[in-house]
Structure 1
Amino acid sequence: MITYEDYKQYLSPALSKATNLVIDHGEGSYVWDVSGRRYLDWVQGIAVNALGHCHPRVVEAIREQVGKLLTCSFNVVNYESTLKWAKRIAEIAPGELGSTFFSNGGAEATDGALKLAKAYTGRPGIIAFKGSFHGRTIAATSVTASSAHYRAGYDPLVPGIDLVTYPSADQSPEGYTDDQIADWALRQLTDLFAYVRDPHSVAAVLMEPVQGEGGYVVPPTRFVKALRQLCTDNGILLIFDEIQAGYGRTGRMFASENFDVVPDIMTIGKAMAGGLPASGVVSTPEIMAAWGPGRHGGTFGGNPVVASAGLAVLDVYAETHLLDNVNAVGSYLAGRLDELKDEFPIVTDARGLGLMRAIELNHVDGRPGGDLLEEVRAICLDKGLMTLSCGVRHNGMRFATPLNTTTELIDEGLDILHQALTTVSAREAPRHTSGATTKQAVAA
């Protein structure tokens, strides 16, 4: 039987592996490894398989297109499926966002969005947020701050980029309310304008409307609205990275809709094409017009096979009223996660929107519980549940189920998680401290 260890020497160690499983096939919420063992998959390609593995409509659309044409390059010719896909995206995108540049992955979309913002404004500066993740290319790494490890050894990165506080409890003074968190983060941004960066030299502010890799953090609506106004007042473009949060995961088609805010540029990816590599930069026709022919490109973006899969995904979304399921099952999941938080002292937070949810683990003495989380994940995997971490301190567990999951499947996974938390909690001996909190322990 083939194993990862037998082939590890042929692969670059740069790619971190969450498991050593060798997967043979998948269907819906499950995957099977080469030994025939079944796993409930709550990673789904890192929020890629919004309809689960091998959805029949998507598979059939791919199969039909593969039999006709793989590629001629969208730089050279047009494809019916890609043209229709662009129109469908324009129909579901918020506000006046109606023009799409297709690419292959999230980092490519990030690079494209930054180039577009600079081309339109003629300005050099970019502002991004601590806790953010936007990809692994040099430009995307330059605006990523969910782990110093991702940036280590790559200096000098792209110049003209400033990183500011994201409006989260973890990045603000302890005990702040949502309004205070919003005000704190806004103050950091306005201080940047006052002390360091002239706002009229800034092309764009790049923000995840819900942070993904950084911990599935939902910002206060007050902050998002104020940021939109601040950008408008200073001629700065607002870019929303919807690569993980978009395409229905939060219960709205795009996460920005939860805040009633429309960005100037939006990046999309992950769930777009049912498991095939796809991403896009979406903006208004006016802004896109500044990106003249030849100013950006790519060999494989807009591939007809990927576009056919993308059209099938949107068909299923519409025909099954998928967002209704996301909100209903997401609400159920939220309630169950709150129960875990109440039961287990090491579960210190449960947060999210729709089916983009996470829990956070910490030691009883306040230290970040990244080690506890890895113990929990290992037990879950041993019992047949695939999970993935998140958060700057690697102590969050994110839930990226298919969007068409059921409460029965949620219960199946949470029963395993409950067993794991019970085992790990029993090992976590109470530590008598002087009331140190997680933030105080981290600061120390």
Structure 2
Amino acid sequence: MSQHIKTELPGPKAKAMIARDAEVISPSYPRDYPFVMSHGRGTEVWDVDGNRFLDFAAGIAVCATGHSHPDVVAAVREAAGEFLHISSDYWHERMVGLAERLARLAPMGEPVLSFFCQSGTEAVEGALKLARYVTGRSRFIGFLGGFHGRTMGSLAFTSSKYTQQKGFFPTMPGVTHVPYPNPYRPLFAGADQGQATLDYIRMLFERNLPPSEVAAILIEPIQGEGGYLVPPPGFLAGLRALCDEHGILLIFDEVQSGVGRTGKMFASQHESVAPDIMTLAKGLGSGLPIGAVVAKRRLMQQWTRGAHGNTYGGNPIACAAANATLDLVEGGYAQNAAEVGEHFMAGLGDLARTRPCIGQVRGRGLMIGMELIDPAAGGAPARALCDAVIERAYHNGLLLLSCGVSTVRFMPPLNVSRAEVDEGLGLLAASLDQALAAA
């Protein structure tokens, strides 16, 4: 147990809060362990019983600048002192300034426009509506393992766990799923997995899915919930070429991978591939709810007045947080994610050399996955071990989440220090060894 854990977990105050919650809150939230937060600073968080934890989940990659970064807090306070809300029927400086900034940062290589909303799933819904509107087509391609949200349009693409779709059929029709290339667990034997996936899509175009009816292909440039999978080199470029060949739009869902998470502003920049439309949320607001659809100007300018709207889109408080966040990410946090992420990956590699249950360490920047396997079962996913490691880490003072079938994911704030990473690696090693001993 970490020296910072002072009580049994959960402690008495946490137990009392959880009991109150059970009486009034939906049971649908997928909570993994009983952490009840009191406050946080940077990468550190404390529960209501005074126990201190390292947060390597960061609100599911939302707290990009850490908890309660003073610059973000100051920007929010200043904005709140002026006005809390004016609907997107009107104009204000922070909204226009944020859109100008995204226009400068966007990886499209040509002018873009932005549409603001509150979340990633809303951003995906907006991207899908735009793609249908400008192409006049109604079908889409998504990827197995993808997560794009839980509203009915985005849910039609979400396929990281069947739980998310169970009980909600039918969702939006017209979505065809194809495999996301995974060189570690190849679906296509003896083949380049990226090229094999592209060939699979071409086969669909010949036999089942008329390409002239496909509005867009929606993909995460690094797959998040599905396992923190990094596609093989050249795959995204091949997808871009395939879309161009058939007049299909390419949508990159950068809700989790964007805003410096991978060591660059956007994950697509690692492959120098430009999307037609991009979705953002999570880390954009450092914890305040904001999402964005960023699209090539020649596409989004086709939307006419009232074609799409949003009451809270461009909220001044959220825009203030986003502008302050981008100041910090551009000012060094993306670079820190690249450098400290490399250090983190090296430390995980050291762990893997002495623990055969670590099958692969993968990722970019501070978007890192550690896939756990059962060596005695031919490298099969070790789902129970993964769950046990997450639970033990909580009791040792380290907050983690899983993804895929048996992958522990690491997504600390972008300003996490090497010392904090080293502390986290020590807690992780202890948690892994405890889980193995109990198995």
CA distance in 2, matches of 1:209, 1:242: 7
CA drift of 1:262 comes to: 0.1
Contact 1:97 1:282 survives alignment (8 Å)? no
Contact 2:188 2:196 survives alignment (8 Å)? no
Matched, 1:244 2:256: yes
User: In structure 1, what is the equivalent of residue 51 of structure 2?
Assistant: 37
CA distance in 2, matches of 1:359, 1:318: 28
User: In structure 2, what is the equivalent of residue 340 of structure 1?
Assistant: 351
Paired residue secondary structure (1:67)? helix
Matched, 1:270 2:282: yes
Pairwise mapping of residues 293-332 of structure 1 onto structure 2 (< 5 A)? 293-319=305-331, 321-332=332-343
CA distance in 1, matches of 2:73, 2:190: 48
User: In structure 2, what is the equivalent of residue 117 of structure 1?
Assistant: 131
> Which is worse superposed, 363-372 or 152-161?
363-372
- The normalised TM-score by structure 1 is 0.93
Counterpart amino acid of 1:156? P
CA distance in 2, matches of 1:296, 1:324: 36
- Count of paired positions: 422
CA distance in 1, matches of 2:347, 2:428: 11
Contact 2:366 2:414 survives alignment (8 Å)? yes
Structure 2 vs 1, CA of residues 208 and 97 (structure 1 numbering), >3 Å: closer, same or farther?
farther
CA drift of 1:176 comes to: 4.7
CA drift of 1:171 comes to: 5.9
Matched, 1:199 2:206: no
User: In structure 1, what is the equivalent of residue 160 of structure 2?
Assistant: 146
User: In structure 2, what is the equivalent of residue 404 of structure 1?
Assistant: 415
User: In structure 1, what is the equivalent of residue 68 of structure 2?
Assistant: 54
CA distance in 1, matches of 2:265, 2:299: 22
Report % sequence identity. Answer: 41
Counterpart amino acid of 2:394? L
Structure 2 vs 1, CA of residues 175 and 342 (structure 1 numbering), >3 Å: closer, same or farther?
farther
Matched, 1:389 2:399: no
CA distance in 2, matches of 1:174, 1:130: 14
CA drift of 1:145 comes to: 1.0
CA distance in 1, matches of 2:187, 2:147: 23
User: In structure 1, what is the equivalent of residue 393 of structure 2?
Assistant: 380
CA distance in 1, matches of 2:283, 2:205: 36
- Give structure 1 regions of 4+ aligned residues with deviation exceeding 3 angstroms: 173-177
User: What are the Cα deviations for residues 55-103 of structure 1, in whole angstroms up to 9, with x where unaligned?
Assistant: 000000001111110002112x211111111101111111225210000
Matched, 1:18 2:29: no
Paired residue secondary structure (1:221)? coil
Paired residue secondary structure (1:261)? coil
CA distance in 1, matches of 2:117, 2:106: 17
CA distance in 2, matches of 1:235, 1:143: 21
- The normalised TM-score by structure 2 is 0.94
Counterpart amino acid of 1:99? L
Paired residue secondary structure (2:299)? helix
CA distance in 2, matches of 1:18, 1:132: 20
Matched, 1:213 2:229: no
Contact 2:183 2:232 survives alignment (8 Å)? no
Contact 1:172 1:184 survives alignment (8 Å)? no
CA distance in 1, matches of 2:37, 2:277: 37
CA drift of 1:18 comes to: 2.3
Paired residue secondary structure (1:398)? strand
Paired residue secondary structure (2:240)? helix
Structure 2 vs 1, CA of residues 309 and 173 (structure 1 numbering), >3 Å: closer, same or farther?
closer
CA distance in 2, matches of 1:117, 1:307: 25
CA distance in 2, matches of 1:108, 1:39: 32
User: In structure 2, what is the equivalent of residue 230 of structure 1?
Assistant: 242
Matched, 1:108 2:119: no
CA distance in 2, matches of 1:102, 1:236: 24
User: What are the Cα deviations for residues 3-23 of structure 1, in whole angstroms up to 9, with x where unaligned?
Assistant: 212321211111111222221
Of 394, 415, 426, the residue aligned with 1:415 is 426
Contact 2:259 2:326 survives alignment (8 Å)? no
Paired residue secondary structure (2:371)? strand
CA distance in 1, matches of 2:202, 2:298: 28
Paired residue secondary structure (1:153)? coil
- Stretches of structure 1 that go unaligned for 5 or more consecutive residues are 429-444
- Stretches of structure 2 that go unaligned for 5 or more consecutive residues are 1-12
Contact 2:57 2:401 survives alignment (8 Å)? yes
Contact 2:259 2:329 survives alignment (8 Å)? no
> Which is worse superposed, 168-177 or 26-35?
168-177
CA distance in 2, matches of 1:80, 1:363: 55
Matched, 1:186 2:198: yes
Paired residue secondary structure (2:308)? coil
Contact 2:264 2:335 survives alignment (8 Å)? no
Counterpart amino acid of 2:152? I
Counterpart amino acid of 2:163? H
CA drift of 1:325 comes to: 1.2
Paired residue secondary structure (2:374)? coil
User: In structure 2, what is the equivalent of residue 281 of structure 1?
Assistant: 293
Paired residue secondary structure (2:141)? strand
> Which is worse superposed, 287-296 or 257-266?
287-296
Counterpart amino acid of 1:340? L
CA distance in 1, matches of 2:285, 2:432: 35
Of 171, 174, 180, the residue aligned with 1:157 is 171
